[in-house]
Amino acid sequence: MLVFVGAIILGLWAWFAYQRQQRAERVAHLKGKIAQRKNEQAELLEWARAEAEKIPSQRRKEIGAMDFNQLIAALQSGDVTSLEAVTTYIGLSLAAHEKTNCVTMYIKESVKHARALDGRRKSGESLPPLFGLPVSIKESIGVTGTDKTWGYAGSIHFPSTRDAPTVEMLKQLGAVPFVKTNVPLSLLSYTCGNEIYGWTENPHKKGRTPGGSTGGEAALIAAGGSLLGIGSDVGGSIRMPAHYAGIAGVKPSSMRLSLLRIDDGYHGPKRGGGYPLIEANEGPMAASMETCAEILKQFWASSLVSDVDPYKPPVGWNAAQFEEGRKYRIGYYTTDGWFDPTPGCVRVVEEARHILQMQGHTLVPFSLPDVPEMIRVYVATLTVDGGVSLMGSIEEDLPPAIFLSALRPLRVPILVQRSMAYVASALGYWRVAKFMRSMTKSSVELRRDYASIQLYRARVVEEMRKANIDMLLCPAQVMPAPPHEAPLHLSAGCSYTAIYNLLDFGAGVCRVGTWNAQDEAKLECYPTSDPWYTMAKKFSKDSVGLPLGVQVAAPPFKEEAVMRVLIDLERNVPKA
């Protein structure tokens, strides 16, 4: 018997020793890949500096001073060549990167691409509408010949073999992707950092995040390094960075742009598949909503989307919805019943309501129903398997320490989490308890949650129809740009954006104001009734001067109306 027990103990010891050795070898391998990538990135930054200096500094200043419409006109007329535009923005993005650490890789092919476009002009060919326009791309979106690591070191040196549909359409329209930008590990966070490329700073205040997961794009655009970027959004990854960085961004509903080939070139840890009924999409980000609208107008002016992806309906640009002067009936709310926003985020919704009323729109109060329960459903259907795949993929790679500490609760067995929820409820922490009950433990539960999403969509659009409401105005987030680690501890703070992925509404964000001294003073009265409110209050302090946005959302195929209202708002925000 003793021999048998000893053999078991020895076998277990040998197994654990083997696992430790395997992990040590894996870590060494990944660290080697990261070191190699950092060297490659340094070389690309030097390449970018050399390319930028090929254009006289005065010429770069002239081109850099042009807004989107001015640059498009100059490119069409020939006053600016494609090569000049791309090279100028290589230089501007380099300056933005030095301030924020937003760039992951430059796309060397962009210079060759720009020269080829200029050759088309010389040969007398007709010019596409976005001829020569430099465009920045989120790291996780496929561009032929570049990596899409999602922040995983294990996915370094597995370049995409094809362009993502959005990139393909941009190229068909004449645009030139020239740079890729930073993301958080796994994309499932609204901070922005990983072990490969480091942490991206908010250009408005060092030590604060630009948001995520499209944080690199937001930082680059806000710092003047790009006129147009393309991001993606599964819970607010375009809209929260737009709010934090003071720019504009749009997440179309899932039927209007394509995520075909999303896994091409991705060779990192297995993520466990998609997120049924939690609808992600790609979309534009820019300094203004007018730029976002122009890009989507070009995408939808013809059958581009359905030509690239036959699973998408051939729905064109709806000029009637976007008509200048058209008035809409808009429901608004300043809290969703799940997470009360901090004072400045409430204030800008009220200011937006007043501005839109002055423009002739009708604003009426509206309450989005059952948000707390649907946030539980959102988490359940996003993680699908209780977070097992997510934790496995992160632990298999080289996660930053704060990622591991924040996600460690996912390793707690679901039945234990649900038992702990009773304790949280007894302490009065009902939201924490709701989160603890969100992980699905069976396919039966998951099917019920899928059904509840479908029923909820029907309920919300019916309530909007009964109230004769075209769209909704609400906060974009619960707080101004927080410190880098904050989003990892406050996943619950994404409810204002995540609910519209669950509903599959088109939604956009634009800047309306700035966190001010009055907001800071009112923060003293902000609740501290549970740990999340306490953290939101703490993370919002010392935020005077940080940008604040609002969100507008509408049912699918009404993106043009959403952008019309956001443009009306953006144009009439008082200048600081």
Q: Which residues are catalytic?
A: 138, 213, 237
- What's 411's DSSP letter? G
Helix 371-383 and helix 443-466, axial crossing angle in degrees, nearest 10:
140
Which tokens sit at 396?
């298999």
CA distance 485 to 482: 8
Q: DSSP E strands: which ranges in 15-87?
A: none
**Rounded Cα–Cα distance for residues 259 and 57 (Å):** 39
Which has the closest alpha carbon to 554: 361, 286, 357?
361
Residues 6+ apart with CB under 8 A from 408: none
DSSP 3-state percent helix, strand, coil across the chain (nearest 5): 50, 10, 35
Tokens representing 78 are 């020939």
Burial of 415 per CB tally in 10 Å (0-12, 13-18, 19+): exposed
459 contact partners, CB below 8 Å, separation of at least 6: 369
Rg (CA), the chain: 24
Length of the chain: 576
Whole-angstrom Cα distance, residue 288 to residue 290?
5
Check the CA dihedral 365-368-369-372 and report its sign: negative
Nearest to 365 by CA among 351, 383, 353: 353
Q: What does the alpha-carbon distance between residue 493 and residue 487 come to, in Å, rounded to a whole number?
A: 8
Contact, 485 vs 193, CB < 8 A? no
